[in-house]
């Protein structure tokens, strides 16, 4: 049995019984935290035992809500590598820059973690139909894991979401729709259709278990760093589930006595200035973020005009002595090109925003040369063909090859 004890509203603190489906708090309409008996976890979970387990996200099962291994819905969620980035580090004048590459996961993004866990729980609760709005990758992951579990998925996405995401949802058998609006418009459709269609709302932070899957990013990072956390984490922030999951992971690891030292990473929430509600709230010193009107960005995962967990994100930033940074939309292609060309890592547009934020903070003198910095690459750039502007010079085999000219064109 899992050490899961109850669920708790992140705003008003109301408790809810575990092992049954919930959406938001019925009193204040805010997200729920999943809580565990951490004293029991500390008794039954040891580092030597962990080291003998398969390298998957499920190796941390004592800190996950799944009761039985046989319940797990999986597509092979491997641990993702923490890659040194020395050439990128040199670009920023740093000595210790790392990229945790989530593009290696099933469906090509970090969304696999959240959906694997959430769909696992949905199936254990006997739910049959799941519905969610998506900016792209979450929909693809939901479609794949619902198919794996034998469940039905309904997915609503803005019509200008990346074409790959639209196609992968359809290919996995989801009932997917393109909507002439933003992700919160899609969320409204999910809410309005719940009673008529009988589905369960799987929107970001509107069910409590996607955050538990994303939490494994923080658990993995701590283990890969030998339980000494880095100085800085740069995280592309849309709905914020991954940022919150990592912060929760660090709190739980501290509670069971696994972290070496009391230091926590300073977290940087990175957004495009084309959609920066968290940054605006941060700059204004507010706890809740106003809706960002006319949101536009090629980093589709960041195009979340209003996050239901806004106050949770801002609370985590303040607790970590972190910061929220907006990067110019026009700079994203350049940072994406730099990340891919310097290290060969499939840096997506969302992660490119993190590089811009890193440049800003280094320039302000806030990050020391020897600070250990981790950037999360949340998805594979291959899923964003619309954001890649490169075209190849053409060779016409009907003509002799002019090698000097070719060298100039290929430079």
At 70 the pLDDT is 75
User: pLDDT digits over 214-238, tens only?
Assistant: 999 999 999 999 999 999 999 999 9
Angle CA 67–73–77, to nearest 5: 105
Domain boundaries, the chain: 82-108+209-385
At 1 the pLDDT is 75
Tell me which DSSP letter residue 301 carries. G
Q: How many CB atoms lie within 10 A of CB 133?
A: 29
Q: CA of 219: how far to CAs of 212, 227, 251, 310, in Å?
A: 11, 9, 10, 23
SS3 content of the chain, % helix, strand, coil (to 5): 45, 20, 40
At 76 the pLDDT is 96
Q: Which residue ranges in the chain fall short of pLDDT 50?
A: none
At 161 the pLDDT is 92
CA 396 from centre of chain = 43
At 410 the pLDDT is 62
- What predicted TM-score, i.e. pTM, was given to this entire model? 0.94
82-108+209-385 topology per CATH = Rossmann fold (3.40.50)
At 395 the pLDDT is 85
370-385 burial: b if 16+ Cβ within 10 Å, else e: ebbbbbbbbbbbebbe
Hunting for tokens 């509600």 — which residue is that? 277
With beta carbons less than 8 A apart as the criterion, state whether 197 and 337 touch.
no
β-strand pairing of 96-101 with 82-84: antiparallel
User: pLDDT digits over 247-306, tens only?
Assistant: 999 999 999 999 998 889 999 999 999 999 999 999 999 999 999 999 999 999 999 999
């Amino acid at each position: 049995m899992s050490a899961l004890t109850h669920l708790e509203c992140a705003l008003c603190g109301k408790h809810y019984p575990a092992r049954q489906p919930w959406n938001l708090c019925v009193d204040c309409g805010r997200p729920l935290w999943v809580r565990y008996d951490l004293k029991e976890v500390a008794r039954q979970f040891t580092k030597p035992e962990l080291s003998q387990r398969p390298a998957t996200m499920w190796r941390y099962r004592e800190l996950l809500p799944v009761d039985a291994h046989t319940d797990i819905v999986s597509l092979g969620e491997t641990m993702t590598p923490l890659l040194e980035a020395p050439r990128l580090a040199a670009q920023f004048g740093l000595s210790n820059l790392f990229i945790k590459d989530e593009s290696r996961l099933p469906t090509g993004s970090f969304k696999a973690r959240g959906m694997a866990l959430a769909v696992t729980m949905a199936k254990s609760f006997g739910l049959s139909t799941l519905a969610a709005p998506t900016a792209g990758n979450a929909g693809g992951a939901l479609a794949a894991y619902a198919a794996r579990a034998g469940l039905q998925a309904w997915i609503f996405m803005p019509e200008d979401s990346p074409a790959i995401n639209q196609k992968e949802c359809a290919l996995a058998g989801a009932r997917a729709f393109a909507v002439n609006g933003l992700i919160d418009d899609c969320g409204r459709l999910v809410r309005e259709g719940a009673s008529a269609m009988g589905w369960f709302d799987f929107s970001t932070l509107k069910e409590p278990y996607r955050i538990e899957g994303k939490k494994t990013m923080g658990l993995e990072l701590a283990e890969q760093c030998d339980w000494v956390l880095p100085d800085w984490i740069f995280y592309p922030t849309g709905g914020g589930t991954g940022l919150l999951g990592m912060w929760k992971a660090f709190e739980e690891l501290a509670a069971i006595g696994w972290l070496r030292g009391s230091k926590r990473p300073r977290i940087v929430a990175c957004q495009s200035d084309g959609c920066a509600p968290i940054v605006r709230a941060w700059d204004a010193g507010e706890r809740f973020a106003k809706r960002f009107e006319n949101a536009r960005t090629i980093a589709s995962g960041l195009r979340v005009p209003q996050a239901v967990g806004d106050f949770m994100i801002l609370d985590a930033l303040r607790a970590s002595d972190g910061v929220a940074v907006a990067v110019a939309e026009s700079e994203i292609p350049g940072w994406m090109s730099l990340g891919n060309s310097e290290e060969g890592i499939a840096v997506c547009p969302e992660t490119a925003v993190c590089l811009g934020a890193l440049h800003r903070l280094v320039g302000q003198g806030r990050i020391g040369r020897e600070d250990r910095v981790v950037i999360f690459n949340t998805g594979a750039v291959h899923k964003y063909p619309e954001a890649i502007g490169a075209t190849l010079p053409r060779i016409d085999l009907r003509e002799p090859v002019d090698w000097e000219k070719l060298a100039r064109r290929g430079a």
